[in-house]
Amino acid sequence: MFVSIVVPCRNEAHYIAECLDSILACDYPKDQFEVLVVDGMSDDGTRKVLADYAAKHPQIRMLDNPRRITPVALNTAIRAARGDVIVRMDAHVVYPKNYVSRLVAALDEFGADNVGAVLKTLPANDRPMGRAIAIGMSHPFGVGTSYFRIGTDQPRWVDTIAFFCVKRSTFDRVGLFDEELIRHQDGEFNARLIRAGGRILLIPDIVSYYYARSTLHQVGRMFYQYGYFKPLVAKKLGRFMTVRQLIPPGFVLALAVTALAALLWKPALLLLALVAGSYALVVGGCAVQTSLKQGPRTGLALAAVLPVIHVSYGTGFWRRVVELMLPKRHAAAERAAELPLSR
């Protein structure tokens, strides 16, 4: 089967060459795949790198994404794709040689509608904060039961995966990606796929390597956006997909409510201490465990990373809930445009 690999990309000058090299080195027949890199008008030198690769490798085509957001990039590539199977591969990731061939084979082997691989998070640098961010983004306490992040020892039917490998006909049946969702467009698509009777498979024998963000600010912005778009996805679907999506917002709400109650009624300080203390105890345990393996500086950094992940996510979530409840709110596209784009 001819495969179209789609790569949404924006300001990835530090990573795009390594990503494309890993794609071009894949063991899938060279005359049986194309690579569509959809660039969000990068201004960091990425476009020159892409132009050079496209000039040297006929499989690669560069497409423009003037709106600069991921769902538009995906839809642009899908409409332009020639493949019977479409595989998403992100620019911030390095892939094993059998990534494409294994995912494509798994579609028929398991009777799956969408197949994905485990995503192992690597630190952006070798500093303690870089290592701690990578640990936090693949830790069960950090991201819950996101199996594509924390790993699995056997093929598993899941609610979502990091990227996708689907037959082109699936988009005819389910539709393209929702362009209102800067974040979590993949989760919303997968929910529609499951609702239509589809099945999503995570296979453990293929691992791709994702470079995490390098600073707390970048991590906070990313998870704030994750949380910000979850209520909109739930509104579109009529439900939240998993309980884990509600845990960080529940924690932030509990903190806010008990803190406000403590201002009005001093005995409520005990409740605030219970909520904050219980959370701090778990974070501390994770930090100690990491300190024993990675050193005390990385452990201390993780103690900052985990609250940033959870509080940023929860804060973004509640901001969007309030916005959806307010009358005469701005159009969704205008609100989304106010958010700083990641990278």
- Amino acid letter at 72? V
Instruction: Write b or e for each residue in 178-201: b if 16 or more Cβ atoms lie within 10 A of its Cβ, otherwise e.
Output: bbbbbbbbbbbbbbbbbeeebebb
CA triple 215-19-52, angle to 5 deg? 115
What residues have CB less than 8 Å from 272, skipping those under 6 apart?
A: 255, 258, 259, 261, 262
| Pair of tokens at residue 28 | 């899938």
The model's pTM: 0.85
Tell me if 103 sits within 8 A of 206, measured CB to CB.
yes
Which tens digit of pLDDT belongs to each residue from 15-35?
999 999 999 999 999 999 999
Crossing angle for the helix pair 296-325 and 269-294, to the nearest 10 degrees: 140
How many other β-carbons are positioned within 10 Å of the β-carbon of residue 66? 9
Q: Which has the closest alpha carbon to 92: 70, 67, 113?
A: 70
Which tens digit of pLDDT belongs to each residue from 64-90?
999 999 999 999 999 999 999 999 999
Instruction: List, in order of start, the domains of the chain with CATH numbers.
Output: 1-93 (3.90.550.10), 243-338 (no CATH)
DSSP assignment letter at 1: -
Percentage of residues of the chain with pLDDT beyond 90:
75
Which tens digit of pLDDT belongs to each residue from 147-180?
888 888 899 999 989 899 999 999 999 999 999 9
DSSP assignment letter at 31: G
Beta strands 200-211; 156-157: pairing state: antiparallel
**Higher per-residue pLDDT: 245 or 224:** 224
Residue 331 has a pLDDT of: 46
The pLDDT mean for the chain works out to: 91
Q: Over 80: is that where the pLDDT of 242 sits?
A: no
| Pair of tokens at residue 182 | 């800067």
Residue 328 has a pLDDT of: 60
